[in-house]
Amino acid sequence: MRPARTPDVVQIERMIQPLVEERILLGKDRVVFYEAVQEFRVAEAPDGELVGCGALHVIWEDIGEVRTLAAAPAWRHRGVGHALLERIEDDARALGLARLFCLTFETAFFTAHGYAEIGEGIVAPDVYAELVRSPDEGVAEFLDLARVKPNTLGNTRMLKQL
């Protein structure tokens, strides 16, 4: 496991594409991956092939989001996702975050890691007023804003206290 580098972006895209086609993950433009490459951790096989990825995106002073958590098909159910999520949670704690959010269809996976479905009112009104100004789609998903509903319909919003 290591921080992602810019040469990894194409491999990350390739690895998550089947999950995007299955509508398990939301697709992103390549430029978005380059802009966020420093948020990503990747898992490598002994031969250097990327076998998993995941990102930590800070939303507010105490809240982060787990993004684009995926394992390559041949490496699913082998602990890659668990190891990446554990590392992302450690990174979140190191940054001083107290809660982690995710938007997912994989509710059993996240529930097994201590995440629970959330409703409204998870941030104070003054924080909501600040967050609603963000152009970031992930923040809009966190706030459950109507403008992201067509892309995220069916996903579950989950949160974990660290």
pLDDT in tens, 30-83: 999 999 999 999 999 999 899 999 999 998 889 999 999 999 989 989 999 999
Q: Is 144 left (phi over 0), alpha (psi -120 to 50) or beta?
A: left
Residue 131 has pLDDT above 70, yes or no: no
Cβ neighbors of 84 (< 8 A, separation 6 or more) are 1, 41, 43, 52, 53, 54, 69, 71
pLDDT digits (tens, 9 = 90+) for 91-130: 999 999 999 989 888 899 999 999 998 877 676 667 656 6
